[in-house]
């Protein structure tokens, strides 16, 4: 069944993806280098962009009997991979080849084939303060009188890069900062700008980058769970300057699986008594998360999903007493190859208990890189789409996040398949196509 669209736009109204798309990555560690090396490997025909919806996904248009499912990248005007140009910031001076070799996600063979390209990308000095990431000691950092001065330096970096490309997106792939809560300084642009000059401790480095990007009209994606764009000041800047923002913390491994399994239990009205999730990982991200203050930020992001999906207030018999625990342990021998175990205690008919064990031997950055690519491409598309450019939060990109961002008063949607449907229907909508509801009664008329 398809519904008639209301106010959908024609393709012509979305500005074309002409020229170069500049991607500025904050933090050139495991995720960033895997993204950059991967995009180059795909461009050279050395590998396929597996895991990327924008590159490999199709979208059904019209009725099932129409057999019309183009590739998403042929349906909406996305930037071409050949037109992406990377730069970024890091607190270490290593070029992207050195950083990728250090991260040990991709094999030496893979990296050797694109070494000169990777060596040519060198990070700019970062805005960093060890107060916000206790386990790191940065050496390649900006200095300034106050946080406002640092923000102006990031703005200058963005302006200089803008001269070499046609459009820019900023992606935070930096380390997880300590847990922070919104304060008065985050409530308006004026308060935030005063806070920058006053060196307000509630303003973390990630917020300085986000402020600089949004001020420059550049969309911003936050791959980590820190408090960065989920703040009134950033929503205001985003709307004012037509610079889209969206949720935070890439939904890659354990949470990805959780947001597939939990909706299945709820759909079948099966109860859940407990869900114990533990992880071991040995990369720098794991080392940073070994600090309790950074772990708290991650924990909050990982814990949120079950309550929203299972809705214990609607189903007290099934989920009211659910015990949910998330652990992350730093274990160096595994490097980037995380192991995530889930023990799920469920119960069925008449309350009889059952157990499910999930052991996901995943590769963190291999899962994160295609998500980062899709986000960059979709945020750039949103900025060129009149219906999306000035709405601020792009809730339709919830699909990619552990913590989707929503308008005030709305609960976030965590169910992966609802998120996927929402994303695809948004693409249909902006292209003036009928939405798909899966009703299908017309086939039986």
Ligand X SMILES: NC(=O)c1ccc[n+]([C@@H]2O[C@H](COP(=O)([O-])OP(=O)(O)OC[C@H]3O[C@@H](n4cnc5c(N)ncnc54)[C@H](O)[C@@H]3O)[C@@H](O)[C@H]2O)c1
Site for ligand X, rule CB under 6 A: 26-31, 89-92, 103, 126-128, 133, 136, 173-176, 205, 223-224, 249-250, 252-253, 283-285, 364-365, 367-368
* Two tokens, residue 92: 């270490």
Closest to ligand X by CB, 5 vs 104, is 104
In the complex, what is the shortest distance from the CB of residue 287 to ligand X, in angstroms, rounded to a whole number? 7
Closest to ligand X by CB, 42 vs 372, is 372
In the complex, what is the shortest distance from the CB of residue 140 to ligand X, in angstroms, rounded to a whole number? 9
What is the CA 334 to chain-centroid distance, rounded?
Answer: 24
Closest to ligand X by CB, 250 vs 265, is 250
Closest to ligand X by CB, 301 vs 425, is 301
Alpha helices, DSSP H, located in 122-231: 147-162, 189-197, 205-215
The answer for residues whose C-beta is within 8 angstroms of residue 351's C-beta and 6 or more apart is 271
In the complex, what is the shortest distance from the CB of residue 101 to ligand X, in angstroms, rounded to a whole number? 12
* Two tokens, residue 444: 């039986």
Q: Are 259 and 251 in contact (CB under 8 A)?
A: yes
In the complex, what is the shortest distance from the CB of residue 276 to ligand X, in angstroms, rounded to a whole number? 20
Closest to ligand X by CB, 75 vs 97, is 97
In the complex, what is the shortest distance from the CB of residue 344 to ligand X, in angstroms, rounded to a whole number? 21
In the complex, what is the shortest distance from the CB of residue 146 to ligand X, in angstroms, rounded to a whole number? 16
Q: Which residue is nearest to ligand X (CB)?
A: 29
Torsion of CA 389, 395, 397, 401, to 10 degrees: 130
Axis crossing angle, helix 232-240 with helix 205-215, rounded to the nearest 10: 20
Gap between the Cα atoms of 339 and 427, Å rounded: 34
In the complex, what is the shortest distance from the CB of residue 294 to ligand X, in angstroms, rounded to a whole number? 8
Closest to ligand X by CB, 249 vs 413, is 249
* Two tokens, residue 223: 């791959």
What's the chain's Rg over C-alpha atoms? 22
The answer for residues whose C-beta is within 8 angstroms of residue 283's C-beta and 6 or more apart is 30, 103, 335, 336, 364, 365
Look at residue 246 and give its three-state secondary structure: strand
Torsion of CA 67, 419, 247, 375, to 10 degrees: -20
In the complex, what is the shortest distance from the CB of residue 430 to ligand X, in angstroms, rounded to a whole number? 27
Closest to ligand X by CB, 61 vs 100, is 100
* Two tokens, residue 287: 């080392």
Closest to ligand X by CB, 141 vs 273, is 141
In the complex, what is the shortest distance from the CB of residue 160 to ligand X, in angstroms, rounded to a whole number? 17
What pairs with residue 369 in β-bridges? none
Closest to ligand X by CB, 26 vs 393, is 26
Gap between the Cα atoms of 322 and 306, Å rounded: 9
The total number of residues written for the chain in this structure? 445
Q: How far apart are the first and last CA of the chain?
A: 12
């Amino acid at each position: 069944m398809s519904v008639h669209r209301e106010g959908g736009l024609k393709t012509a109204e979305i500005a074309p993806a002409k020229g170069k798309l500049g991607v500025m990555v904050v933090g050139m560690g495991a995720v960033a280098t895997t993204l950059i090396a991967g995009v180059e490997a795909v461009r050279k025909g050395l590998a396929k962009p597996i895991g990327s919806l924008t590159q490999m996904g199709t979208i059904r248009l019209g009725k099932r009997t129409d057999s019309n499912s183009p590739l998403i990248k042929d349906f909406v005007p996305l930037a071409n991979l050949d037109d992406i140009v990377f730069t970024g910031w890091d607190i270490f001076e290593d070029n992207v080849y050195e950083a990728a070799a250090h991260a040990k996600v991709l094999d030496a063979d893979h990296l050797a084939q694109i070494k000169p390209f990777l060596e040519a990308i060198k990070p700019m000095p970062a805005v960093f303060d060890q107060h916000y990431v206790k386990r790191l000691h940065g050496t390649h950092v900006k200095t300034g009188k106050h946080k406002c001065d640092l923000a102006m330096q990031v703005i200058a970096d963005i302006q200089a890069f803008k001269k070499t490309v046609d459009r820019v997106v900023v992606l935070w792939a930096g380390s997880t900062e300590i847990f922070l809560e919104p304060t008065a300084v985050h409530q308006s642009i004026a308060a935030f700008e005063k806070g920058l000059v006053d060196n307000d401790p509630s303003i973390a480095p990630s917020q300085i980058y986000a402020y600089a990007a949004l001020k420059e009209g550049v969309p911003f994606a936050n791959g980590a769970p820190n408090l960065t764009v989920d703040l009134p000041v950033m929503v205001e800047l985003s709307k004012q300057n037509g610079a889209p923002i969206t949720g935070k913390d890439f939904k890659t491994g354990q949470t990805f699986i959780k947001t597939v399994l939990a909706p299945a239990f709820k759909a079948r009205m099966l109860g859940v008594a407990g869900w114990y999730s533990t992880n071991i990982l040995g990369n720098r991200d794991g080392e940073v998360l070994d600090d309790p203050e950074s772990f708290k930020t991650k924990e909050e992001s990982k814990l949120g999903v079950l309550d929203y999906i299972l809705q214990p207030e609607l189903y007290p018999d099934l989920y009211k007493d659910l015990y949910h625990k998330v652990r992350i342990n730093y274990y160096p021998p595994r490097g980037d190859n995380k192991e995530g175990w889930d023990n799920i205690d469920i119960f069925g008919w008449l309350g009889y208990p059952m157990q499910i064990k999930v052991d996901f031997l995943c590769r963190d950055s291999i899962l994160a890189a295609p998500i980062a690519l899709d986000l960059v491409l979709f945020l750039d598309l949103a900025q060129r789409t009149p219906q999306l450019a000035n709405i601020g939060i792009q809730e339709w990109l919830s699909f990619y996040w552990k913590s989707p961002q929503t308008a005030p008063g709305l609960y976030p949607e965590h169910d992966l398949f609802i998120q996927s449907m929402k994303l695809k229907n948004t693409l249909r909508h902006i292209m003036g196509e009928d939405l798909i509801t899966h009703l299908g009664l017309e086939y039986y008329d």
